[in-house]
Structure 1
Amino acid sequence: MTKILLHGCCGKMGRVISELSKKYDNLSIVAGIDKFGSDNMGYPVFKSLDECNVEYDVLLDFSRADALENLLTFSLKKQKPIVLCSTGYTEDQLQLIENKSKELPIFRSANMSVGINLISMLLRKVAPVLKDNFDIEIIEEHHNQKVDAPSGTALLLADSIKNSLDTETEYVYGRSGSSKRDKNEIGIHAIRGGSIVGNHDVIFAGDGEVIKFTHNALSREVFAVGALKACQYISKVSENKLYNMEDVIGLDF
């Protein structure tokens, strides 16, 4: 049984994860952390990490990027692995995560969907084949309450392409002006509106044909499934390193 401490338990994703976890026989959320508190989550909720006195196996975070330092400090003190699902980390924060992964197992993914991560893996194979004859554009759509743009997922997909190529590429965020498109650009476009859960299109546009990789998240449950899979995975590892969803998927291609 994997015992999970859920940070950000009263947020939208926290509540989805809490409900979904009831369907699993081999894991349990034993406590939650949320500054607003709650008495209807089915487990004890503390307003801060320091107040928590419940034993756990994995700390799962679905909150905000500015909570990172406290989460890492707490995890190092407890010597327990952590699954980071928040987005919007700065370059300095990403470097901090990388550094601390030498001291304890850390899981981080810009998107917890198994489908998105499969697309990311496929893009590394496809992009080098198509790059010379296709222009690459990424469009992402999210709800009007999302605070970071472009999404961490759009950057994950863009980085998968960029890192697979042996030529220099440049990210162009949105498109304006009066000059034509440069061949080495990867366009990244963000749309915010309504209650869109998360849609991503990677477009390879060539002469006479267009190839699209599309992923539509129909509910937040898709991210909750991935997060719980990550908790189960990292609770069994022994090596201090940075893990991601590709480790959980386990495909080698």
Structure 2
Amino acid sequence: MTRIALIGARGRMGQAIALALDGSPDCILGPLFDAGDDLSGLSSANADVVVDFSNPAALPAVIDAAVRAGLPLVIGTTGLEPDHHAAIDRAAATIPVLQTGNTSLGVTLLAHLVQEAAARLGTDWDIEIVEMHHRHKVDAPSGTALLLGQVAAAGRGVDLATVADRGRDGVTGARREGAIGFASLRGGSVAGDHNVIFAAEGERIELGHRAESRAIFARGAVKAARWLIGRAPGRYAMPDVLGIS
């Protein structure tokens, strides 16, 4: 029986994961924590893997606790900054860490398709990423939108930071060739919609995904957690879970 320690247990995703595990024949909830809680009770005696959906401010403590306990760590928290990623890289030298902006298996496959399309279409095909989430989401663009931008940039062999266009207002001038644009919409109770548009003269390709329930993210997180157990120390991502890296 796989014991999953959950960080951010009272949040929306934490509750969805708890619901997904209810009645599971091979997975149970281990210790439950929220952002800012004392994590000293986390250990290999009460958990087999840690899943974190708390917030960026809590992540350093979560990483330290997982490393101290020698437990695999799945990070689904979004809004991460470069210092968070540096801490993840350091932890990955000791434990297996899977970090992702989206645990949906459908989004994972979408990212694969986006990278393939970007690799085969030239910069005369403009890339725009449009995402919409519920009114309570605090970060923009979403972690998933940034993930899609990163794989699109990787497909073109460029660094997203050098080509991203994350805000347009007023007289901005003509679109830069090779830019990857982002648009973030917020409203209602939308769980997560993402659309990647490849637009050229006279034609357009759209690749998209709609999340109808947080249950899809919960199922993906549980699958990732089970997959990560027993892996060698290193940094992993959702494509590894599907075998499409």
TM-score (normalizing by structure 2): 0.92
Kindly tell me: are residues 176 and 8 of structure 1, through their superposed partners in 2, closer, same or farther at Cα, counting changes over 3 Å? Answer: same
**Equivalent residue, structure 2, for 1:117:** 108
**Equivalent residue, structure 1, for 2:199:** 205
User: Alignment partner for residue 244 of structure 1, among 231, 237, 240?
Assistant: 237
AA aligned to 1:129 is: R
Q: How does 1:104-253 map to 2 (within 5 A)?
A: 104-166=95-157, 170-178=163-171, 179-237=173-231, 239-251=232-244
Alignment partners' CA distance in 1, 2:25 and 2:225: 14
- Residue 177 of structure 1: how far off its partner (Å): 3.3
Does the aligned pair in 2 maintain the 1:174–1:190 contact within 8 Å?
A: no
Q: Deviations over 1:187-237 (max 9, x none)?
A: 111111121111111001112211101111101001001100011001132
- Residue 101 of structure 1: how far off its partner (Å): 0.3
- The number of equivalent residue pairs is 241
Alignment partners' CA distance in 1, 2:122 and 2:69: 46
Q: Aligned with 2:206: secondary structure?
A: strand
Q: Aligned with 1:88: secondary structure?
A: coil
**Equivalent residue, structure 2, for 1:15:** 15
Q: Deviations over 1:31-75 (max 9, x none)?
A: 211369xxxxxxxxxx53124576110011111011111111111
Q: Aligned with 1:133: secondary structure?
A: coil
AA aligned to 2:114 is: L
Give the percent of matched residue pairs that are identical in Structure 1 and Structure 2.
36
Unmatched runs of 5 consecutive residues or more in structure 2: none
AA aligned to 1:87 is: T
**Equivalent residue, structure 1, for 2:5:** 5
AA aligned to 1:158 is: G
Q: Aligned with 2:210: secondary structure?
A: strand
**Equivalent residue, structure 2, for 1:43:** none
Kindly tell me: are residues 63 and 35 of structure 1, through their superposed partners in 2, closer, same or farther at Cα, counting changes over 3 Å? Answer: closer
Kindly tell me: are residues 26 and 174 of structure 1, through their superposed partners in 2, closer, same or farther at Cα, counting changes over 3 Å? Answer: same
Q: Aligned with 1:196: secondary structure?
A: coil
Does the aligned pair in 1 maintain the 2:123–2:178 contact within 8 Å?
A: no
Answer with 131-140 or 27-36: which moved more: 27-36
Runs of 4+ that moved beyond 6 A: none
Alignment partners' CA distance in 2, 1:213 and 1:110: 18
AA aligned to 2:30 is: V
Alignment partners' CA distance in 2, 1:212 and 1:225: 26
Does the aligned pair in 2 maintain the 1:172–1:188 contact within 8 Å?
A: yes
Does the aligned pair in 1 maintain the 2:124–2:177 contact within 8 Å?
A: no
Does the aligned pair in 2 maintain the 1:175–1:187 contact within 8 Å?
A: no
**Equivalent residue, structure 2, for 1:67:** 58
How big is the alpha-carbon RMSD for the aligned residues of Structure 1 and Structure 2? 1.8
- Residue 23 of structure 1: how far off its partner (Å): 4.1
User: Alignment partner for residue 76 of structure 2, among 79, 85, 90?
Assistant: 85
TM-score (normalizing by structure 1): 0.90
Q: Deviations over 1:4-28 (max 9, x none)?
A: 1111111111111111112421111
